[in-house]
Amino acid sequence: MARDNSQQMILFVDLGTGKTRQEDVSPEMRRKFIGGNGFAVKILYDLLRAGVDPLGPENAVVFAVGPATGTVIPGAAMTAAATKSPLTGIFIDSYMGGQWGTELKEAGCEALVLQGAAAEPVYLFVDDGRVEIRPAAHLWGKKTSETERAIKEELGDPRVQVAAIGPAGENLVKFATIIHSTRAFGRGGLGAVLGSKKVKAIAVRGTGGVPHPYTEKILEYARRTYDEMLRQPAFAKNIPTFGSTVSVAGNNALGILGSYNWQQEVFADAEKISGNDMVNRGLRVGHKACASCIARSAIIWRACEGPFKGATSRGPEYETLYSYGSLIGNGNVESIILADRLSDELGLDTISTGAVIAFVMECVEKGILSAQELDGMDVRFGNYRAMLDLLPKIAAREGAGDLLAEGVREISRRIGKGSEYFAIHVKGLELPGHTARGLKGMGLGYATSSRGGSHQDFRPGPERSGKFDRATIEGKAALVKKNQDMTTIGDCLIVCRRHSEGFHGAFLNERYVELASLATGMEFGLEELTLAAERIYTLERMFNVREGVRRKDDTLPERFLKEGIPGGPSAGMYVSREELDTMLDEYYQIRGWDPETGVPTESTLKKLGLSN
Domain limits, the chain:
9-205, 243-426, 437-555+576-607
Q: Average pLDDT, stretch 63-85?
A: 94
Determine how β-strand 199-205 pairs with β-strand 122-127.
parallel
36-60 mean pLDDT: 98
Confidence band of 5 (pLDDT split at 50, 70, 90): very low
Convert the pLDDT of each residue in 574-610 to its tens digit.
999 999 999 999 999 999 999 999 999 999 999 999 9
Average of pLDDT values for 158-172? Answer: 98
Mean pLDDT in residue range 5-18: 87
In contact, 255 and 565? CB cutoff 8 Å: yes
At 7 the pLDDT is 61
List of E strands, 138-288? 161-164, 178-180, 183-185, 199-205, 284-288
For residue 33, name the pLDDT band (cuts at 50, 70, 90).
very high
CATH of 437-555+576-607, one of 3.40.50.2020, 3.40.50.720, 1.25.10.10, 1.10.599.10: 1.10.599.10
Q: 531-588: per-residue pLDDT in tens? A: 999 999 999 999 999 999 999 999 999 999 999 999 999 999 999 999 999 999 999 9
CATH of domain 9-205: 3.60.9.10
Reported as a single tens digit per residue, the pLDDT across 377-426 is: 999 999 999 999 999 999 999 999 999 999 999 999 999 999 999 999 99
Which residue, among 612, 536, 607, has the nearest Cα to 33 in the 3D structure? 536
Residue 136's pLDDT is 99
Mean pLDDT across the stretch 16-37?
96
**CATH of the structural domain 243-426, one choice from 3.40.50.300, 1.10.569.10, 1.10.3720.10, 3.40.50.360:** 1.10.569.10
For residues 266 and 226, the model is more confident at 266
Under the banding of pLDDT at 50, 70 and 90, the label for residue 297 is confident
**CA pair distance 295, 97, nearest whole angstrom:** 13
How high is the pLDDT of residue 2?
46
Residue 51 has a pLDDT of: 98
With cut-offs at 50, 70 and 90, classify the pLDDT of residue 459.
Answer: very high
| Tens-digit pLDDT profile for residues 355-383 | 999 999 999 999 999 999 999 999 999 99
Give the per-residue pLDDT at 294. Answer: 77
Q: Span 432-446, mean pLDDT?
A: 98
| pLDDT band with cut points at 50, 70 and 90 for residue 213 | low
CA–CA–CA angle 576, 427, 456 (5° rounding): 85
DSSP lists the bridge partners of residue 264 as: 259
pLDDT at 3 over 50: no
Q: Tens of pLDDT along 92-137?
A: 999 999 999 999 999 999 999 999 999 999 999 999 999 999 999 9
The DSSP call for residue 348 is: B
With vertex at residue 557, the alpha carbon angle to CA 551 and CA 558, rounded to the nearest 5 degrees, is 100
User: By mean pLDDT, which of 72-81, 182-191, 340-349 is the weakest?
Assistant: 72-81
> To the nearest whole number, what is the mean pLDDT of the chain?
95
First to last CA, the chain: 43
Q: What is the pLDDT of residues 229-257, one digit of tens each?
A: 888 888 878 888 888 898 999 999 999 99
Q: How confident is the model at residue 4 (pLDDT cuts 50, 70, 90)?
A: very low
The residues near 360 (Cβ < 8 Å, ≥ 6 apart) are: 369, 374, 379, 404, 411
pLDDT of res. 208: 86
294 neighbors 305 (Cβ within 8 angstroms): no
How confident is the model at residue 240, as a pLDDT? 85
3-state secondary structure of 139: coil
pLDDT in tens, 477-517: 999 999 999 999 999 999 988 778 878 889 999 999 999 99
346 touches 339 (CB < 8 A): no
Pure H helices in 472-571: 476-493, 497-499, 510-520, 526-546, 558-562
Query: Residue 475: left if φ>0, alpha if ψ -120 to 50, beta else—which one?
Result: left
Q: What is the pLDDT of residue 289?
A: 78
